[in-house]
Amino acid sequence: MKTKRVIAGTAGLGLAGLLAVAAWAQSKPEETEVWTPTPAKVAPAKDPGGAPSDAFVLFDGSNLDQWVASLDKSPAGWTVADGVITVNKARGNIETKKSFRDYQLHLEWRVPADITGSGQGRGNSGVFLASTGPRDQGYEVQILDSYKNATYVNGQAASVYKQHPPLVNASRAPGQWQTYDIIWRAPVFGADGALTKPAAVTVIHNGVLAQDNAVLAGETVYIGKPAYKTHGAAPIKLQAHGDPSAPISFRNIWVRELAPRS
């Protein structure tokens, strides 16, 4: 019946239209169905912020066994208490023991409720999606109290620091936990070391899209223009920023490795 109705309503279509309708009428739905290969099964987390079954857990609330000090690879010297990591600014940045290329990252962070200061001096930290050196080398997504705190927009929370302002400001008030869900696509370099595909990042801040496949011009720099240098898989790094405000905290950190781009 469906085919008869379609053909009956084709008056005035012309030859090309009639041929298209005839081809559609003769096709079968099975011709556009794909059955294999079947996607791998992944069990989602039971609790909000928890890790899915195929994730590599970087912090589960108990210890910093998956982290080292960025400067000298000694044990990470930040504080762990009550399921939370608190930055120790005197001990410097920490980074993962394991290196990664493309991945999905989840982390939660909190600025103290009694935070003081203003601008970049108020709850400053960052997550470096590929650490290429012991200090602040790499590609940084900014962490900052941006609830009611004016600063340059390419330096506020969820910015790709000094490159891409966030699409929106989805910041919660100090004292509340905030989430980043990040898709990182590492840069691709040819055999000669030349860049063949730039890095790209998507950031969801507190459930709101803040960076939509933003293409990076190179590594993060505080002064000057970003540029690339050749590197492979790299650690994920958390920043111990030197601003005078109280240190921030982290919890529920996990990563899912993704197939690299060709």
Within a domain: residue 186?
Answer: yes
Shared domain for 19 and 88, answered yes or no, is no
Shared domain for 118 and 159, answered yes or no, is yes
SS3 68: strand
**Residue the block writes with tokens 């900052």:** 144
Within a domain: residue 38?
Answer: no
Name 67's bridge partners.
Answer: 96
Nearest to 123 by CA among 149, 84, 154: 149
Contact (Cβ atoms closer than 8 angstroms) between residue 74 and residue 62 = no
Shared domain for 144 and 26, answered yes or no, is no
Shared domain for 78 and 121, answered yes or no, is yes
Shared domain for 16 and 146, answered yes or no, is no
**Mean pLDDT, the chain, whole residue set:** 93
Shared domain for 155 and 26, answered yes or no, is no
Confidence of residue 28 (pLDDT cuts 50, 70, 90): confident
Within a domain: residue 241?
Answer: yes
Averaged over 106-110, what is the pLDDT? 98
What is the DSSP secondary-structure string of 135-189?
A: SS-EEEEEE---SS----GGGSTTSBTTTB--SS--PPPTTSEEEEEEEEE--EE
Number of domains in the chain: 2
Q: What is the pTM of this model?
A: 0.89
Express each pLDDT in 147-184 by its tens digit: 999 999 999 999 999 999 999 999 999 999 999 999 99
CATH, residue 63: 2.60.120.560
Nearest to 59 by CA among 256, 251, 249: 251
* pLDDT exceeds 80 at position 10: no
Shared domain for 27 and 71, answered yes or no, is no
Shared domain for 84 and 27, answered yes or no, is no
Rounded to whole angstroms, the Cα distance separating 174 from 113 reads 5
Nearest to 209 by CA among 176, 253, 167: 167
Shared domain for 159 and 236, answered yes or no, is yes
Strands (E) across the chain are located at: 56-59, 67-69, 79-81, 84-86, 94-96, 103-110, 125-131, 138-143, 177-185, 188-189, 195-197, 200-205, 208-215, 237-238, 249-257
Shared domain for 18 and 64, answered yes or no, is no
Name 176's bridge partners.
Answer: none
Contact (Cβ atoms closer than 8 angstroms) between residue 253 and residue 67 = no
Shared domain for 105 and 160, answered yes or no, is yes
Q: How far apart are the first and last CA of the chain?
A: 47
Express each pLDDT in 187-244 by its tens digit: 999 999 999 999 999 999 999 999 999 999 999 999 999 999 999 999 999 999 999 9
Within a domain: residue 125?
Answer: yes
Within a domain: residue 43?
Answer: no
Shared domain for 129 and 17, answered yes or no, is no
Within a domain: residue 262?
Answer: no
Question: In this structure, what DSSP letter does residue 234 have?
Answer: B
Within a domain: residue 46?
Answer: no
Structural domain including 15 reads 2-32
